[in-house]
Structure 1
Amino acid sequence: MARIGPVGPFRAQMRLLYFIRDPYPCTRRDVLTLFGERLHALGIGSDIVATLQRETDHGDPARGGPGHDGTYWPAGAEHLHVPSQRPGLKTLGTLLHDLRMLWRASGYDALVVRDKIVVAALAIVICGASRVFYWMSFPMPEADLARARSHAERRFRRVALWLRGQATGVLLYRFVVPRAARVFVQSRRMGEVVAARSGRNGGLVAVPMGIDEVELAAGGAVPNARVAGDPFRIVYLGSMDRLRRIDFLLDVLREVMRRDPQRGYRLVLIGGASTPDEYDWLVQRVKESGLSGFVEMPGPLARDEAWRLAGGCHLGISAIPRGEVFDVSSPTKMLEYLALGLPVLVNDIPDQAQILDCTAGAGLCRPMQADRFAEAVLQIRADYADFAAAAAASRPWLQASRGYEVLAGRVAATLREALPDGR
């Protein structure tokens, strides 16, 4: 276990022990920016408990980044588990590491457990429910059950996923959610689903994905000027996992090119996948589609480089499969497109539809059907100047409604209101 002490002279008014499921170092903005920076600035420090991403993952296009680079967690100490390379031992070692940290948690004001259902249940038993806050960024049981129903996994793996999904679903909705001090959910829709499945009607706090207002202020949202004859570049920024149905975008591109064969189009897919096999599957689908010459796949990039490449495109696209897994999500990519001044084309999951309602004219919302998306691409291209101007004008709304300073204030108020001493 690696432990690195707090940085600088800062003394927090409240100390959190913060467990995350994501491999560390974690670049997710709802971890690094929200907890590492904005809550820290509000007097809420956090010591992070995480599993270190192995150096063997460095540079793997499916893993999305390097190993630990020595940068300290800005809000406090790091308690890092160095995992075994054997999958079974890795899971057991991580659980034992988290359990050790729970036994040492008496000096903390509260524990925030992100997406680790078993750890949250143990925290409630060991530390008391009044100090435990569960952070639900993704419906883990539902995702396991969805993967178990697919044919992308081998039979034994599907059975294991089904068993895990059933067990963690019972533990989450019948034990953790009803007892935790508060439950942070990623969208209003997720709050409705969690309430229905757990019977808990209060204490569910929606904290959607946000945008870093510092980066927003530093970057210029200038609508991209198109030079006659240049291809119209459509960008997707995010995960390439099969569950995301990125191959749908290939169908859209093919239909756009069929309807408008005289003008050029390119699809730019920026990001990695959860495993090398998932990424390789999409690479193979691109080859089989016959569209290799029209699709660019630079893989996972550093945030600045990804934004630079995306900012050189004309249209940001976000097609999120409907269903119990993703209907409750709050995608970051739509916010990033708007921050870059890109018009957006999205499908009708609740959070995306709500954002488009609040940024009128910045894009189009259509059902996830290839012909409807293709029609919308052509419509946006035909009226590009108006759509791009509306996207650029959405920045004040992004900062006021989805800036992490605003979201941090919501989290801080919830923590202070829920804790017995109101710190």
Structure 2
Amino acid sequence: MKNLKIFYSIDDIFPPYRVDVSELFGVSLAKRGLDTEWYMRNPISGKAASIKLNNQTVHLPGFIKRSGLLWKIINKLAFWFYDALNLWRCRNSAELIQVRDKTIAALIGLLVARIKGIPFVYWYSYPFPEDYLESAKVATGMRRLYFNCHARLERPVLYRFVMPLSDHVFVQSGQMKIDLAVYGVPPDKMTPIPMGIPSQLLSFVGTKAVQEVPGRIVYLGTLAAIRQLQVLIEAFAKVHAHIPNARLVIVGDGDIPEETVSLVRLAQQFGIGFAVDFTGFVPIEQAWKIAASAQVCVSPIYPTPVLNSASPTKLNEYMALGKPVVCNVHPEQSATINASGAGLCVPWGAEHFANAMIWLFEHPDEAREMGAKGADWVAQHRTYDRIAETVWNKYQDIMQTKS
């Protein structure tokens, strides 16, 4: 298969921390011959610049790090301007243009690709318009107006124009493909790309021996209100009443301080504040070390249309660490647990989560067997080298069809 040069415009701040960006494109696809030229957000004040990341060129916009609404607007306009400028410049070097989770850049990229006669690909990792609508339901005043306008402008542009006219659309999950097909995006134009595990985690598993702490339950991830993690606190209260030495470690934080504070208060109200440890965000290897010390790991994903299309990274991480998992019924989680046998998948609800965790504590041999099955399955199906093969083959198909 021939090498390929693409231009990829993303909304991430440099350097990218998402593994489906840094690991998939920066490492696994690069080994197959993909040369990616990037556009990302600038993390520091300064002029527009072009720098190197893993021998790949990254374009950064001019950015002025000052507070206030005026500077926020200026920086937003600068980001759009340099995005458009680099999309236009890339027409003479890129063989394919790809945009991730952006609307204005997608319109410009699609136009440039059509002028140049090269493929345009859209990468859709999260249903942002639907998330804005959910946020609008609980917001007030100008924030509510902002969320509603954002959603109602983006939905028709993305679902009725950008995606149908793209040469291909990479989506986060099989459920997202089903959801977008309802809006009219052709199913044969979409390929689900689930979240995977970075090579760094495989190295961690192979070299770090972590002592398991009896009774420890670990949750990794965001504490954002949309996740409805009150159910986890309530479930743990039931577990603790049955198993007094049980401890819950929550690794992560909310989007705003109040989201974490509300969970801390709830734990105190249940009388289990002393048994719940909120670590906040920690370096990734420290998070893995904490999860590796767990007897049971949990992955609650609140069943809403927005989150049903997710591909949870935490589930793959738990499994790679050889931990038995308790999760709730969810398109991606259910399919993964059914295929791997790595844990228990239950309906949403505190009683269901609690019963599953208690069962794993009381059946340690079966729990260890589940953990071992999960580690084997992830190594076969969720490494980024394996995922890169799917993406690379699709790029080759796109290029052949376009030619």
Structure 1 equivalent of residue 95 of structure 2: 109
In structure 2, C-alpha distance between the alignment counterparts of 1:98 and 1:304, rounded to whole Å: 33
Q: Which moved more, 1:91-100 or 1:202-211?
A: 91-100
In structure 1, C-alpha distance between the alignment counterparts of 2:80 and 2:377, rounded to whole Å: 41
Structure 2 equivalent of residue 58 of structure 1: none
Percent identity, please.
Answer: 28
Write the mapping of 1:310-389 to structure 2, written as runs, cut at 5 A.
Answer: 310-360=291-341, 362-389=342-369
Structure 2: tracts of 5 or more residues without a match:
none
Contact 1:184–1:207, Cα closer than 8 Å, also in 2: yes
Which structure has more relative contact order (CA 8 Å, sep 6+)? It is: 1
In structure 2, C-alpha distance between the alignment counterparts of 1:359 and 1:257, rounded to whole Å: 28
Structure 2 equivalent of residue 248 of structure 1: 231
Q: Give CA deviations for 1:300-348 in whole Å, capped at 9, x if unaligned.
A: 1221111111111111111101111011110010110011111000011
Structure 1 equivalent of residue 54 of structure 2: 74
Q: Give CA deviations for 1:355-374 in whole Å, capped at 9, x if unaligned.
A: 101112x2100111001111
The structure where helix makes up a greater share of residues is 2
Structure 2 equivalent of residue 90 of structure 1: 75
Normalised by the length of structure 1, the TM-score is 0.85
Q: Which moved more, 1:324-333 or 1:275-284?
A: 275-284
**Is the counterpart of residue 43 in structure 1 residue 24 in structure 2?**
no
Shift in Å at residue 71 of structure 1? 9.7
Structure 1 equivalent of residue 384 of structure 2: 404
**Is the counterpart of residue 413 in structure 1 residue 390 in structure 2?**
no
Contact 2:51–2:58, Cα closer than 8 Å, also in 1: no
Q: Give CA deviations for 1:30-68 in whole Å, capped at 9, x if unaligned.
A: 01100010010000011221112359xxxxxxxxxxxxx
Structure 2 counterpart of 1:346, one-letter code: C
Contact 2:101–2:125, Cα closer than 8 Å, also in 1: yes
* Change over 3 Å in CA distance of 1:54–1:146 after alignment to 2: farther
Q: Which moved more, 1:74-83 or 1:189-198?
A: 74-83
**Is the counterpart of residue 270 in structure 1 residue 259 in structure 2?**
no
Write the mapping of 1:9-408 to structure 2, written as runs, cut at 5 A.
Answer: 13-54=3-44, 72-74=52-54, 76-84=56-64, 85=66, 86-106=71-91, 107-128=93-114, 130-150=118-138, 153-213=139-199, 215-216=201-202, 219-220=205-206, 230=214, 232-258=215-241, 260=242, 263-276=244-257, 278-283=259-264, 285-286=266-267, 290-360=271-341, 362-408=342-388
In structure 2, C-alpha distance between the alignment counterparts of 1:266 and 1:71, rounded to whole Å: 46
Secondary structure of the corresponding residue to residue 274 of structure 1 = coil
Secondary structure of the corresponding residue to residue 253 of structure 2 = coil
What count of residue pairs does the alignment treat as equivalent?
A: 390
* Change over 3 Å in CA distance of 1:204–1:40 after alignment to 2: same
Shift in Å at residue 155 of structure 1? 2.5
Secondary structure of the corresponding residue to residue 191 of structure 2 = strand
Normalised by the length of structure 2, the TM-score is 0.89
* Change over 3 Å in CA distance of 1:223–1:315 after alignment to 2: farther
* Change over 3 Å in CA distance of 1:307–1:193 after alignment to 2: same
CA RMSD of aligned residues (A): 2.6
In structure 1, C-alpha distance between the alignment counterparts of 2:247 and 2:345, rounded to whole Å: 21
